[in-house]
Structure 1
Amino acid sequence: MLQVVRTIALMYNNFSRPQKLTIGALLFLTWSMLVWQAAIYKPDADSALTSLTAVNNTAESDNSEPMDQATPDDEIPKDELDETAVPNEYVVSSGDTLGSILTQFGIDSSDVYLLANKNSALANLKIGQQLNWTLDDDGALQSLTWVVSRRETRTYQRSETSFVESIDTLKGEWKNSVVTGTLDGSFVSSARAAGLSNSEIHAVTKALQWQLDFRKLRKGDRFSVLLSREELNGKNEQSQLVGVRMQSSGKDYYAIRSTDGKFYDREGSGLAKGFLRYPTPKQYKISSPFNPRRLHPITGRVAPHKGVDFAMPIGSPVLAVGDGEVVVAKFSGAAGNYVAIRHGRQYSTRYMHLNKLLVKPGQKVKRGDRIALSGNTGRSTGPHLHYELWVNELAVNPLTATLPRSEGLMGKERAEYLALVKDVMPQLHL
């Protein structure tokens, strides 16, 4: 800085007398104007509020919506089948790791590290194994249950500094049993009357969720369920669905479990309907990411952001990411124009701040169908689409979640599966 001052002084001394007078006059006029402006300017409350609002609007526009925007959770209609759903449940698929599974559901990576650090066995998850977990009110991981096999279950319970493992090995006798029934009322009530538990009913609806709508089954429709049940001291301790057959309006629907834990039809074709990763024809800038633990910058409170915001011009097409049924299509307060779609029994998607709705409740849609035009309605600070993906009634990160795929079995896996089908099919009698 001193060197700069010396350089300027040297240059000034080299100027002629007229140049020095001109520069001095300009500096004096500039200084006089600044003093005059300071003397006549009197800020008032309105101008201060306007200035603060402008700053806040700039900060909010970076995220495209307020930090504490509520998701209209109560807008998704519930039915009797939802009572059998199991929250926080996941079946391990190809390529999954403990970290990739839990973080997509918004569980903090520090909790995942704490869990895996001293429990190295969790690095050996196998395809088809099941995980269940519980969270506290702040979304922190409290426990994890790992169903290693039909006989072994490992539970990890949070302590002050780590997660403590306990292993439960059951020594009951596993037997296959077939449960048959005829609908006389709802499927849930008929299945309970036939002897299925809530968890077994949930397994059936999940296996057949892509083939039929259980709410539209009719009186007289029939079902046959093949279960592997463990009996200990005369009681059923746990069970696993092997295969199911549903006969509705004279048509048979089958789902049979493969060794990978997934269900396929009699030919080994996948039953799930594939999803798009993005609800738009092209990718747009993400203005606010998924963050279930996001903190409000003013209050410091946890203000979860349960979806992803895409900065999109008003009127841009919004697409259904998968086949499903529209369950909400209306204006909904802070969410603005809002569409919710149910995909099978496990999945639902939500689209908010829309400019124009192109679908109605009860309408069936296919993957890639236009359902709306993006907008800036509701509590929104700029044109954008707020998109959410829910699995088992829990919001997940749409950009990293494992999406349903419709691929079938091939090669050796298909041959082994078809041999299993030949054994299972005769047992699914009606």
Structure 2
Amino acid sequence: MQQIARSVALAFNNLPRPHRVMLGSLTVLTLAVAVWRPYVYHPDDVPVVKTVVLEKDEVHSLLPEDSEPIDQAPQEEEAIPQDELDDKIAGETGVHEYVVSTGDTLSSILNQYGIEMGDISRLAAADKDLRNLKIGQQISWTLTEQGDLQRLTWEVSRRETRTYDRTDNGFKKSSEMLQGEWVNNLIKGTVGGSFVTSAKDAGLTSAEISAVIKAMQWQMDFRKLKKGDEFSVLMSREMLDGKREQSQLLGVRLRSSGKDYYAIRAEDGKFYDRNGTGLAKGFLRFPTARQFRISSNFNPRRQNPVTGRIAPHRGVDFAMPQGTPVLAVGDGEVVVAKRSGAAGYYIAIRHGRTYTTRYMHLRKLLVTPGQKVKRGDRIALSGNTGRSTGPHLHYEVWINQQAVNPLTAKLPHTEGLTGTERREYLAQVKEVLPQLRLD
């Protein structure tokens, strides 16, 4: 080997100088490429940027139809302007309430809020009666920090309340029977600085004030009541050992600028006017004139396969050409219309006190904050602004400040009582109206 090396060196030295320079340069370049190449190219000539090991059940999260890049931070939370009417009842932060209506089942109610079918099945196993919810009953629930169902409460009747707490093996049922006396109370007042303060001064609790606002939300913007406006509230309260245990709103009368507004509770738990006409305003299911392809579904538990963190997708993405007219799904007031970070051009509309809808990644805004809109009004043109991988509309529905699935959520619709139900309701109105006096 040494003899070969000496022969090569002797031959190299005997070459003309220009040849020695050229051969030396080629040798250095070849060595540089040999050293550098393994770090730039994969052996199969496929560029390597980063290697991520995924579990089998995580691969579906990387499908290209997801409109939002999942390897980035989750969609930033866009704040909705708040006021005192949005205050949570003390000690009940995170509690969601729902009144059972026609066609509801335990599964249909909880599924629209992203609660997994496994938890719903375990609940039903803990109490088969949950499969027979009745119109007008109320259920409420809380979630864990991971978004799983923690506790569900079912008000079976005025006297019976059942609670289901999460355990390692499912849900544990407990029941409470109250034997108090129900008494009707009339609470009257005059608006001073604000309705909330005036109602508290008149003797209503925070929970009762929330019930009044919810019943009247489609007729009245409580923030715009004037000093001197009057209200009367008929509340049925259960007294047990001299203490108030629970209450139920029976009727409300509110006089503003000389005009009277009413909301009276029917047997189905909903509120109607004096003629039995529903107070809720109808909603469109989709925020466009026609339905577009869904490119990313609602998923409150979406997990980022790269970071392992929960990056919830709180709405639905519709793939559509830029410039498609975006419609308000219901009557309401625009509370946000601006450009905001990852959301791009973004609109939020409040419908009453319970519902809020959001529209993101827009190209052009056609409304301004504070503007009143009607169902079907054009509010924007769709686009591709903010953090977006392609033209689409991100659409969200929030109920009581909690995101729900826009495709399955129980949205309000204009309705009224008919037949026997209406006759029974009108008979009830004759009893309630005389009690809602203002003087």
Please give the TM-score of this superposition, normalised by the length of structure 2. Answer: 0.85
Give 1:26's aligned residue: none
4+ aligned runs moved over 6 Å, structure 1: 46-51
Residue matched to 1:104: 112
Match of 1:78 among 73, 82, 107: 82
Match of 1:17 in 2: none
Tell whether 2:269 aligns with 1:261: yes
AA aligned to 1:337 is: Y
Counterpart for residue 160 of structure 2: 152
Show the counterpart of 2:384.
376
The 5 A counterparts of 1:334-413 are 334-413=342-421
- Tell me the residue number matched to 1:62: 65
User: Residue deviations 1:115-148, cap 9 Å, x none?
Assistant: 1123101011100100110111000101100011
- Partner-residue secondary structure (3-state), 1:192: helix
**Residue 361 of structure 2 aligns to which amino acid in structure 1?**
H
- 1:133 aligned residue (131, 138, 141): 141
1:60–1:381 Cα contact (<8 Å) kept: no
Question: What's the CA shift for 1:113?
Answer: 1.1
Asked if 2 retains the 8 angstrom alpha-carbon contact of 1:309 and 1:385, the reply is yes
Secondary structure of residue in 1 paired with 2:87? helix
Distance, in Å, in 1 between the alignment partners of 2:40 and 2:101 is 60
Contact 1:69 1:334 in 2 (8 A): no
Given that 1:70 and 1:334 are in contact with CA atoms closer than 8 Å, whether structure 2 keeps it comes out as: no
CA distance in 1, matches of 2:115, 2:195: 34
Shift of 1:300: 2.2
2:73 and 2:314 mapped to 1: Cα distance? 10
Kindly indicate whether the alpha-carbon contact (under 8 Å) linking 2:362 and 2:383 is maintained by their aligned counterparts in 1: yes
How far did residue 405 of structure 1 move?
1.1
Q: Which residue of 2 aligns with 1:222?
A: 230
Indicate which of 319, 329, 345 corresponds to 1:321. Answer: 329
Greater CA deviation, 96-105 or 297-306? 297-306
Q: Which residue of 2 aligns with 1:233?
A: 241
Instruction: Report the 3-state secondary structure (helix = DSSP H, G, I; strand = E; otherwise coil) of the residue aligned with 1:110.
Output: helix
- Is there any run of 5+ residues in structure 2 with no aligned partner, and where? 1-33, 53-58
- The answer to which of 61-70 and 384-393 deviates more is 61-70
Confirm or deny that 1:161 pairs with 2:185: no
Q: Distance in 1 between matches of 2:214 and 2:224?
A: 16
Distance (Å, rounded) in 2 between the aligned partners of 1:387 and 1:111: 27
Code of the residue aligned with 1:152 in structure 2: it is E
> 1:370 and 1:44, CA in 2 relative to 1: closer, same or farther beyond 3 A?
farther
User: How many angstroms apart in 1 are the aligned matches of 2:285 and 2:38?
Assistant: 51
- RMSD across aligned positions (CA): 2.3
SS at match of 2:199: helix
Question: Distance between the aligned counterparts of 2:96 and 2:204, measured in 1?
Answer: 22
Shift of 1:223: 0.3
How far the C-alpha of 1:425 sits from its partner, in A, is 0.2
Deviations 1:224-259 (A, max 9, x none): 000110011111110000000000000100000000
Cα offset, 1:297, TM superposition: 2.3
C-alpha deviations, 1:141-172, integer Å up to 9, x for none? 01100011111100001111021111111011
1:202 corresponds in structure 2 to 210
Query: What code does the residue aligned with 2:83 have?
Result: D
C-alpha distance in structure 2 between counterparts of 1:118 and 1:409, whole Å: 35
Q: Distance in 1 between matches of 2:406 and 2:181?
A: 41
Q: Which has the larger radius of gyration?
A: 2
Unaligned runs of 5+ in 1: 1-38
1:351 Cα deviation from its structure 2 partner: 0.5
CA distance in structure 2 between the aligned counterparts of 1:319 and 1:406, rounded to whole angstroms: 19
Deviates more, 1:116-125 or 1:320-329: 116-125
Letter in 1 for 2:86: D
Q: Distance in 1 between matches of 2:193 and 2:423?
A: 39
Q: Classify the secondary structure of the residue corresponding to 1:299.
A: coil
**Matched residue, 1:10:** none
TM-score by length of 1: 0.87
Alpha carbons of structure 1 residues 331 and 169: separation in structure 2 relative to 1, 3 Å: same
For 1:234 and 1:354, the matched residues in 2 are separated by: 57
* 2:19 equivalent in structure 1: none
SS in 1 for 2:390: coil
What percentage of aligned pairs have identical amino acids?
A: 66
Residue correspondences, number:
390
Query: How many Å separate the matches in 2 of 1:250 and 1:345?
Result: 23
Partner Cα distance (2:62, 2:116) in 1: 25
Question: 8 Å contact 2:136–2:269 — kept in the other structure?
Answer: yes
Shift of 1:46: 10
**What residue is the counterpart of 1:123 in the other structure?**
131
Match of 1:310 among 315, 318, 326: 318
Identify the residue that residue 275 of structure 1 maps to in structure 2.
Answer: 283
Equivalent residue number for residue 198 of structure 2:
190
Distance 1:331-1:165 versus aligned 2 partners, 3 A rule: same
| Distance change in 2, residues 1:43/1:355 (3 Å) | farther
AA aligned to 2:66 is: N
